[in-house]
Amino acid sequence: MNKPSILVARAVFPQVLDKLAQHFTVTANQADVLWTPAQLIEKLQGQQGAFTTGSERIDAAVLAACPQLKICANMAVGFNNFDVPAMTAAGVLASNTPDVLTETTADFGFALLMATARRMTESEHYLRAGQWTKWSYDMFAGAEVHGSTLGILGMGRIGQGIARRGAHGFGMQVIYHNRSALDAATEADCKARYVSKEELLKTADHLVLVLPYSAQSHHAIGAAELALMKPTATLVNIARGGIVDDAALAQALRQKTIAAAGLDVFEGEPKLHPDLLTVPNVVLTPHIASATLATRLAMANLAADNLIGYFTQGQALTPLNTLAAATP
């Protein structure tokens, strides 16, 4: 029997490619060329499955141009690059990689919070530039982390992981806002209290964004929201670019209406709003919250297993949609 054909749209661990090759005729992109939407459509011709990352947009235009496509397995927990309703309508299964990255991403969220509150990169730049000539009592004095109030916007698995770290490790008071409140047992485990978005913004000493990107969450943090935050507060975004209005944030940082920000994701990344590169009170990282080798390998394996499960058993492990007739 002919093996199904799949496209692996970005470079991936060679051992994951080897595993895929046992089940599929694989077209890979180990040179890691970033394709335009038109090139992606061209590459997808004749392919029944696709292994994608956040950089490949699968929308109605792609689906219409690739009628033989049956499944797109995203190597990411976020899936704002997928138009899931359009995929469902086209009979294309969508899957993502939840759970395997939760704790690693929560670790990073906490690390970014610490680096931001304690001004780690700003002070390192100062030192590397040869500006450190003497100790002084208030040099790079930052914000307290232990015992402070941790705010979390978006209380899914990763938000809960950050809450547990803050509450149990650092004695923080945890408040959160989410589409809906958590059940009482999960709230107790996270020692977290549900509050309105306004109270969250006004009360948090450190506000971490962990909500999914959608039309509804676009610029959920803009000038008006930043104005509600404490002038001593820090803001951390490990969710998605576009949730924060980066221009408004750069202005708030410059005017010190909030103290500092830690950003792993950006509107229009890998391009950055130029003002973010010139304000000192921001820690910038290139979308690496899930980037440990073990976790990235687990994500790649789960995306591969979703393709294999679908084509061998008619079922992905972590699907995002249900199809009327999910037969490969």
Place of tokens 């335009």: 36
- Whether 234 and 261 have beta carbons less than 8 Å apart is answered as yes
Helix (H) or strand (E) holding 260: strand 260-263
* Part of the chain binding ligand GLV (CB under 6 A), chosen from 74-82, 127-135, 226-234, 312-320: 74-82
- Comparison of 72 and 259: residue with beta carbon closer to ligand GLV: 72
Q: How far is the CB of 79 from ligand GLV (least distance, A)?
A: 8
* Part of the chain binding ligand GLV (CB under 6 A), chosen from 71-79, 115-123, 140-148, 242-250: 71-79
Of 57, 103, 219, 269, catalytic = 269
- Comparison of 101 and 201: residue with beta carbon closer to ligand GLV: 101
Nearest to 222 by CA among 258, 246, 256: 246
* Part of the chain binding ligand GLV (CB under 6 A), chosen from 60-68, 76-84, 270-278, 316-324: 76-84
Helix (H) or strand (E) holding 283: strand 282-284
- Whether 201 and 228 have beta carbons less than 8 Å apart is answered as yes
Q: How far is the CB of 320 from ligand GLV (least distance, A)?
A: 12
Interaction of residue 52 with ligand GLV, rule CB under 6 A: no
Q: How far is the CB of 96 from ligand GLV (least distance, A)?
A: 7
> Which one of residues 5, 55, 78, 107 is an interface residue with ligand GLV (CB under 6 A)?
78
Is 240 marked active-site?
yes
String marking each residue 84-113 x if it binds ligand GLV according to CB under 6 A = -----------------x------------
Q: Is 5 helix (H, G, I), strand (E, B) or coil?
A: strand
Of 164, 240, 273, 296, catalytic = 240
Strand partners, 176: 152, 194
Of 23, 57, 157, 287, catalytic = 287
- Whether 91 and 297 have beta carbons less than 8 Å apart is answered as no
> Which residue in the shown chain puts its C-beta closest to ligand GLV?
78
Nearest to 295 by CA among 111, 55, 103: 103
> Which one of residues 77, 182, 249, 258 is an interface residue with ligand GLV (CB under 6 A)?
77
* Residue 202 to residue 186: CA distance in whole angstroms: 24
* Residue 221 to residue 244: CA distance in whole angstroms: 5
Interaction of residue 76 with ligand GLV, rule CB under 6 A: yes
Q: How far is the CB of 288 from ligand GLV (least distance, A)?
A: 9
Q: Can you say whether residue 77 is alpha, beta or left, with left for phi > 0 and alpha for psi between -120 and 50 degrees? A: alpha
- Whether 319 and 74 have beta carbons less than 8 Å apart is answered as no
Interaction of residue 290 with ligand GLV, rule CB under 6 A: yes
Q: Is 196 helix (H, G, I), strand (E, B) or coil?
A: coil
Site for ligand GLV, rule CB under 6 A = 54, 76-78, 101, 290
